[in-house]
Structure 1
Amino acid sequence: MTPRSVVVTGAGCGIGLATTLELAHAGFDVIGTVRSEEKAEALREAVDRTGASVRTVLLDVTDATSSVRAFTEIATMTDGGPWAVVNNAGIAQPGAIEDVDDEQVRQQLETNLVAPARIARLVLPTMRARRAGRIVNISSISGRVSMPLLGWYCASKQGLEAMTDALRMEAAPFGVKVVLVEPGSYGTDIWQRGASRLPQRRNSAYRHQYEAAEEMIKRELPSPRPVARTVLKALTAPRPLPRYLVGTDARSSAVLDAALPTAATDWAKQVATGLRRPPRAAHALSRLRSRGGR
């Protein structure tokens, strides 16, 4: 039986690389997209070392011409088009809303929101004709929970979730299943690369928070393999869930953000990002007692 073909965008590192390895070892015909021949060669070598294999195609997801060219090539490799696509390629644009300029905003939305929609447009005609196919969009807990100093990244992921929800309903009558994967914090280089996109801090009202954010970026995070295994589940389950939250932090954040009053979650997020200082325990106790508490 010919293995089913799956395209993974942004396959060279992080969640994309972990997903490529997971799917290749599960028997899928994986086509990983990267932006340069050097990255393509490195990806093939990395997968080869594990005893699996991957085919590669060059693709800049933010470029419409590159996207058409890449998926035309993929169509010749897959008898008309892939069985599935995992839209993983993405960037993170940090910074307060007022500090991020228009060009940075456009790049954030083009990469994380417009590109997955464009790719869906390119693959859906063949999937619809076959009455089979899957599209898995890699979102984030930021697709549900907004954080200060990450507003444009959150906007791109929340837009991706809204678009995916609509696409899921539109594609279902034609046998095409559309799934969202919402990871928490895992070890990828998206935030390291995002640090280079921090706005100029000299005159920013948030410069101290940006300095603290750079330190947080350096902390060690768990392997993204749980995300890759969730993608595998989304591709192999006869009836995949519409959404998969991945990670304890993602699940707890989603529950707390939905259950607690907005004022409470706003305060907690401001404390977490250094926009507010938590009250000293003694001061808080004094205030509580002054109000008749125990």
Structure 2
Amino acid sequence: MTKTVVVTGANRGIGLATALELARAGFDVIGTARSEEGARELHAGAERAGTRVRTVLLDVADATSTVRAFTEIAQMTGGGPWAVVNNAGHAQPGAVEDVDDEQVRAQLEVNLVAPARIARLVLPEMRRRRSGRIVNVSSVAGRVSMPMLGWYCASKQALETVSDALRMEVAPFGVQVVLIEPGSYGTGIWERGIASLPAREHSAYRKQYAAADEVLRGAGDLPGPRPVAKAVLRALTARRPQPRCLVGSGARSTALLDALAPTAVADWAKSTAVGLRSGPPRAVRALERLRRR
């Protein structure tokens, strides 16, 4: 029997690449989109790829929409999907003090609350079958915090801790939970982030926002997201999938540097990258003096 997988936010970026990759691999894919236009984009992408997906309208930030969508999915699948890929996400840039409460709530609602809500809806049937998988698409930001992206990093790091707890809770029922942690790929999420940059007229970080505009607008030059889709496919086909999977050499090197470097050195490197600092930190200067002796 063909296994059904729901992919949220499937009409663009990682979601679209994942939906097509899974459909080509023989899964029955149900992709969600927030609008009819998004659903048409997904169908068009599947047609160009020579495959087929089904669609359901879903706004993951809306609890009523989520319940309605997964009720429909349960009817389409005779109880519920075998797996869910929680991919829908939102990136809120900005200094911690500049992002207002409404923006913070929106960031956490989409990246943290929504995947937990969806897990709550699909787990009863997975438990009954004693089989199922939940794949949460996180980010290397789930491991490494960056200045000017504090709330985005907070949402992804919270998603990872919740996923870790959920993985241990549901394992006795035959359900597996996997975290996918991509580096930087061309998905459109950062270009869309330009619209949610905080007002900068009276911000202490005006220069950084000007630089952020250029970085976000250049995100379209990043490599395509198919490596992430392939990682999701492995998470769904491996008998014993890795609980966490960093995707891309950039993600692996960033996580390794952050784990091994002294905090002062890591802070300096990340702050320099966004234009908050220049010149090496005290720890680096001390090491340089010792080397010269």
**TM-score clears 0.5:** yes
CA–CA separation in structure 2 for the residues paired with 1:273 and 1:49: 39
CA–CA separation in structure 2 for the residues paired with 1:292 and 1:147: 30
Residues 178-234 of structure 1: CA distance to partner in whole angstroms, max 9, x if unpaired? 000000000111001111100001111101101111111233101100000000000
Q: 1:89 deviation in Å?
A: 0.3
Equivalenced residue count is 287
Distance 1:288 1:128, change over 3 A: closer
Letter in 2 for 1:98: E
CA–CA separation in structure 2 for the residues paired with 1:180 and 1:201: 35
1:47 corresponds in structure 2 to 46
1:169 corresponds in structure 2 to 168
Q: CA RMSD in A?
A: 1.5
Which structure 2 segments of 5+ residues have no match?
none
Residues 243-277 of structure 1: CA distance to partner in whole angstroms, max 9, x if unpaired? 00000010001111011111110011110010012
CA–CA separation in structure 1 for the residues paired with 2:107 and 2:217: 22
Q: 1:45 deviation in Å?
A: 1.4
Query: SS at the partner of 1:156?
Result: helix
Query: SS at the partner of 1:218?
Result: helix
1:73 corresponds in structure 2 to 72
CA–CA separation in structure 2 for the residues paired with 1:127 and 1:293: 62
Letter in 2 for 1:216: V
Tell me if 1:134 matches 2:133: yes
CA–CA separation in structure 1 for the residues paired with 2:56 and 2:73: 8
Q: 1:42 deviation in Å?
A: 1.6
Residues 117-166 of structure 1: CA distance to partner in whole angstroms, max 9, x if unpaired? 00000000000000000000000000000000000000000000000000
Letter in 1 for 2:257: L
1:74-89 map, 5 Å: 74-89=73-88
Distance 1:198 1:73, change over 3 A: same
Query: SS at the partner of 2:84?
Result: strand
Q: 1:293 deviation in Å?
A: 2.1
Letter in 1 for 2:270: K
Q: 1:288 deviation in Å?
A: 5.6
Q: 1:292 deviation in Å?
A: 8.4
CA–CA separation in structure 1 for the residues paired with 2:47 and 2:102: 38
Which region of structure 1 is more displaced relative to structure 2, 158-167 or 46-55?
46-55
Letter in 1 for 2:132: G
Percent identity at matched positions? 70
> What TM-score do you get using the length of structure 1 for normalisation?
0.95
Letter in 1 for 2:92: Q
2:227 corresponds in structure 1 to 226
CA–CA separation in structure 1 for the residues paired with 2:77 and 2:258: 43
CA–CA separation in structure 1 for the residues paired with 2:291 and 2:269: 25
Residues 37-66 of structure 1: CA distance to partner in whole angstroms, max 9, x if unpaired? 111012111111211000000000011100
1:6-17 map, 5 Å: 6-17=5-16
> What TM-score do you get using the length of structure 2 for normalisation?
0.95
2:270 corresponds in structure 1 to 269
CA–CA separation in structure 2 for the residues paired with 1:47 and 1:278: 50
1:128-277 map, 5 Å: 128-219=127-218, 220-277=221-278
Letter in 2 for 1:77: M
Q: Does structure 1 conserve the Cα–Cα contact (< 8 Å) formed by 2:193 and 2:216?
A: no
Query: SS at the partner of 1:86?
Result: strand
1:125 corresponds in structure 2 to 124
Letter in 2 for 1:41: R
CA–CA separation in structure 2 for the residues paired with 1:36 and 1:242: 32
Distance 1:4 1:268, change over 3 A: same
2:99 corresponds in structure 1 to 100
Query: SS at the partner of 1:22?
Result: helix
Query: SS at the partner of 1:76?
Result: helix
Distance 1:277 1:78, change over 3 A: same
CA–CA separation in structure 2 for the residues paired with 1:239 and 1:292: 47
1:29 corresponds in structure 2 to 28
Distance 1:128 1:288, change over 3 A: closer
